[in-house]
């Protein structure tokens, strides 16, 4: 095992990059999808955050794009074993999106156009760990990769980074999502290789 | 991108689980009520599992995932499954 983690923004050229256990490196950007790609027009796009008391915060595309955004460079780890390093994104931090939400919820369920869902602890969306991303490598995010906007939670396996995100429900009780309800790990930490139930 | 194959690809994954041929089984979609052979379903395979969708309404009829040594099957999208069994 390596002992040095790649720097957060490092493009550290030579040498071996450390990958989570069982992963291999890719340089392309594989497209995974459990259904047809939703074509969501930004004119009708909306992002809704709903708290456990039913309070709703929503943004249309213009309001969403008016929020402060961040450029981030992160590593992606897919449960199907590929990893892609140093991927550049632009998005709005969940800290920004959740700033006005009055909540004591512990769980979140992301919902996507097309019906996909994924669950995670609310804590994992906070403190600079998650974004709703709308640019990849300086370009508008392509629909195959989740455009116009997708969740980006790079410290968990990529199925948690819901493509075509439409809403996030804040919940008192955990609710397993599309893959979490069918054998895939409820949390999905790639560094602990939490691929399946019981891992 | 996001191509799908026909439902005959389910034969491999489910052949380990069921003694019957799943592809000729006739499933009634829980969403729209259409009956169709599972082999007619649209199956998305570029994913952490196999996701079979109704050819008529596009809803999920069946999902299968695998780990080394385990497999999980979700058939909530099938209201009723008609299987061909050897005659008596
Ligand atoms: Zn149907």
Find the domain containing B53 and state its range: 7-82
Q: Is A33 close to B2, i.e. CB distance below 8 A?
A: yes
pLDDT at B2: 66
The answer to whether residue A110 is domain-embedded is yes
The answer to whether residue A40 is domain-embedded is no
Residue of A31, A115, A183 with shortest CB distance to B65: A183
The answer to whether residue A197 is domain-embedded is no
Residue of A31, A36, A183 with shortest CB distance to B70: A183
The secondary structure of A65-134 as a DSSP string is HTS--EEEEEEEE-TTSEEEEEEEEEEEEHHHHTTT------EEEEEETTS-EEEEEGGGGSSSS-EEEE
ipTM of the modeled complex:
0.88
The answer to whether residue B74 is domain-embedded is yes
Cβ partners under 8 Å of residue B55, min gap 6: B34, B36, B40, B41, B42
The answer to whether residue A42 is domain-embedded is no
* % residues pLDDT > 90 (chain B): 73
pLDDT at B56: 97
The answer to whether residue A67 is domain-embedded is yes
The answer to whether residue A13 is domain-embedded is no
Q: Give pLDDT tens digits for A102-127.
A: 999 999 999 999 999 999 999 999 99
pLDDT at A2: 40
The answer to whether residue A8 is domain-embedded is no
Q: Is B1 close to A184, i.e. CB distance below 8 A?
A: no
Q: What is the pTM of this model?
A: 0.90
Instruction: Give the count of domains, chain B.
Output: 1
The answer to whether residue B2 is domain-embedded is no
Q: Which residue of B has its CA nearest to A199?
A: B67
Q: Give pLDDT tens digits for A3-25.
A: 444 444 444 444 467 899 999 99
Q: Is B67 close to A182, i.e. CB distance below 8 A?
A: no
Residue B49 alpha carbon to ligand 1 centre in Å? 20
Average pLDDT over residues B72-88: 89
pLDDT at A7: 44
The answer to whether residue B87 is domain-embedded is no
Instruction: Give the count of domains, chain A.
Output: 1
CATH code at position A154: 3.90.420.10
Find the domain containing A88 and state its range: 20-27+50-192
pLDDT at B88: 64
Are A114 and B58 in contact by the 8 Å Cβ rule? The answer is no
Are A161 and A151 in contact by the 8 Å Cβ rule? The answer is yes
Q: Is B49 close to A181, i.e. CB distance below 8 A?
A: no
Sheet holding A117-121, edge to edge: A56-60, A46-50, A165-171, A107-112, A117-121
């Amino acid at each position: 095992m390596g002992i040095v983690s790649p720097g957060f923004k490092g493009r550290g050229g030579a040498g071996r990059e450390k990958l989570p256990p069982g992963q291999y490196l890719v340089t392309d950007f594989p497209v995974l999808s459990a259904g047809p790609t939703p074509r969501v027009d930004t004119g009708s796009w909306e992002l809704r955050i709903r708290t456990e008391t039913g309070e709703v915060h929503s943004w249309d595309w213009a309001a969403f794009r008016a929020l402060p955004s961040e450029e981030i460079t992160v590593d992606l780890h897919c449960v199907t074993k590929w990893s892609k390093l140093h991927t550049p994104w632009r998005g709005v931090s969940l800290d920004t999106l959740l700033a006005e939400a009055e909540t004591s919820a512990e769980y979140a369920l992301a919902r996507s156009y097309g019906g996909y869902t994924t669950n995670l602890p609310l804590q994992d969306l906070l403190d600079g760990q998650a974004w709703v991303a709308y640019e990849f490598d300086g370009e508008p995010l392509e629909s195959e990769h989740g455009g116009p906007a997708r969740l980006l939670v790079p410290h968990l396996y990529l199925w948690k980074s819901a493509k075509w995100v439409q809403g996030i429900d804040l919940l008192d009780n955990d609710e397993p999502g599309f893959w979490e309800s069918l054998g895939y790990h409820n949390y999905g930490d790639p560094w602990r290789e939490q691929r399946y139930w019981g891992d | 991108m996001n191509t799908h194959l026909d439902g005959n690809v389910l034969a491999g994954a489910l052949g380990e689980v069921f003694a019957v041929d799943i592809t000729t089984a006739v499933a009634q979609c829980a969403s729209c009520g259409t009956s169709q052979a599972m082999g007619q379903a649209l199956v998305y395979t570029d994913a952490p599992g196999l996701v079979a969708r109704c050819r008529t309404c596009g809803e999920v009829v069946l999902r299968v995932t695998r780990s080394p040594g385990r497999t999980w099957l979700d058939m909530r999208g099938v209201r009723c499954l008609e299987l061909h069994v050897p005659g008596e």
